[in-house]
Structure 1
Amino acid sequence: MKIQGPNQTNFNPYKNIQKKLTQQSAGISKNDQLEISDMAKKLQDQGNIQTERKERIEKIKQAIDANEYKVNYEKTAQNG
């Protein structure tokens, strides 16, 4: 029987396995990647729609102020 005392070098058998795994993973270099979900892409596109809508609203406001805005009653009746 061999007794090594309280400071045994091989006390944790999983330590060697853990060292091997960390050495292997250190050799593999992973690149960071960023993926944008479909929902995020839609939200980004909505920003473009918002600016287009604001421009359209400004044109309508200017036409109203200049008394040039005409309501298409037939089209309004069809939508309602």
Structure 2
Amino acid sequence: MKINGPNHSNFNPYKKNIQNQQKSAETSAKQDKIEISDKAKQMQEHQKAQEARKQHIEALKQKVNSGEYQVDAKQTAEKMINFWKNR
């Protein structure tokens, strides 16, 4: 067995790996940043449109509940026929 004394550099062979991991963790924490993609921006715009649609639906619900909403049967039938023709 070979003993190199108290100043042996390989006393803890994992110490260097642990120190490297700590350094990389420190540097990566400093480099974090956020970027919003174009797709995410489109989704945010879509949510605004959904809010307007919700308001429109609420207005329709109020009309239906109060009896003010009138359905044009002919126009509804035409749209249904056009829908099935274009499929």
Tell me the TM-score normalized by structure 2: 0.46
Q: Would you tell me which structure has more helix in proportion to its own residues? A: 2
